[in-house]
Amino acid sequence: MVKNVTTTTTVDIDQPINLETTMESGQVFRWEEVQGWYIGVIGRDGYAIKQTSSGLLIRTSNPDKQATIKSIRNFFRLDDDLEKFYAELQHDQSLREAFQHWRGLRLIKQDPWECLISFVCSSVSNIPRIKKNLNSLAKAYGRPIYLANNTVYEFPSPRQLSKISVDDLLQLGLGFRAEYIVKIVNHKLAGKLNLQKLLIDNYANAKAELTKLPGVGNKIADCVLLFSLEKLEGFPIDRWVMRALVDWYGHSENARYSDLLNWAHEMWGTKAGYVQQYMYQQRRLS
């Protein structure tokens, strides 16, 4: 790869998008904001993304402009009709306020492998620490990608992580999550985890497979299902979403995850994933 060679592309967008809100909404952890540009990796290429009046300005290591546009449209789920989503739920005052405050917040479609390891790393942690852990892992084991004056790192594949030990990951600061990651890598290499199959599986079956993995409970599984496996009924319930469910809809603080999930599915169906993201953003930051 030639260092410091980039291609510039514009992506016009006719759907609501707020790049800053979307990238800072707890979905992704390896994107850094530098003077209005968000710099990170999609697939095997480095990207710098900036919002413009008509859409997004893209600088990338990928020389194929059409492939870049396709990648960006896929990453930001630009075929999702947010205007229709807003209109269908305008009757809900709490959600309406969240839509107004965070208009343009979109779900991101991530690489399933990176998403899985990212949210395993999120267990009993916070966003700065998750970012540090994942960047350390990528820098230690991933392929460098040169983008203008920046170096970013492709997230390491299971094969690239095949030789890691728990001690290796402990040295990167991953704590108790190190053992989970080593076991998941071995599980994947043994052919016991097929993330591409989970893409086409239904929500219930895909979740059942994910929750067999060490370190993956209901919330982490729902994050992976929603943010990478196209299961829009995924409804991760963390403390912020729980507070919204209690404050906005009168649920008990002691309600079971499964009961809340079933209620959300009955209430919103496949809109539940988007609803969750607006709940999370509004309750956490407003």
Q: How far are the Cα atoms of 15, 18, 90, 264 from residue 54, in angstroms, in the given order?
A: 10, 12, 26, 35
- For 98-121, write each residue's pLDDT tens digit: 999 999 999 999 999 999 999 999
- For 63-106, write each residue's pLDDT tens digit: 999 999 999 999 999 999 999 999 999 999 999 999 999 999 99
Degrees, nearest 5: CA angle 121-124-130: 40
Q: List the structure tokens of 73.
A: 């449209």
- AA identity, residue 41: V
- State pTM to two decimals: 0.95
- Which structural domains are found in the chain, ordered by start? 7-101 (3.30.310.40), 112-227 (1.10.340.30), 239-285 (no CATH)
Mean pLDDT of the chain: 95
In the chain, what percentage of residues exceed pLDDT 70?
98
Confidence (pLDDT) at 286: 83
The span from the CA of 117 to the CA of 213, in Å, is: 11
Between helix 239-249 and helix 272-285 the angle, nearest 10°, is 90
Q: List the structure tokens of 271.
A: 């809109």
- How sure is the predictor about 5, in pLDDT bands with cuts at 50, 70 and 90? low
- Give the three-class secondary structure for 11: strand
Confidence (pLDDT) at 235: 98
Confidence (pLDDT) at 1: 41
CB 8 within 8 A of CB 58: yes
The span from the CA of 81 to the CA of 9, in Å, is: 23
3-class SS string, 195-243: HHHHHHCCHHHHHHHHCCCCCCCHHHHHHHHHHCCCCCCCCCCCHHHHH
- For 233-254, write each residue's pLDDT tens digit: 999 999 999 999 999 999 999 9
The span from the CA of 176 to the CA of 169, in Å, is: 9
Beta strand 7-12 pairing with 32-34: unpaired
Query: Quick one: 253 exposed, middle or buried, by C-beta within 10 A (0-12, 13-18, 19+)?
Result: exposed
Mean pLDDT of 118-126: 93
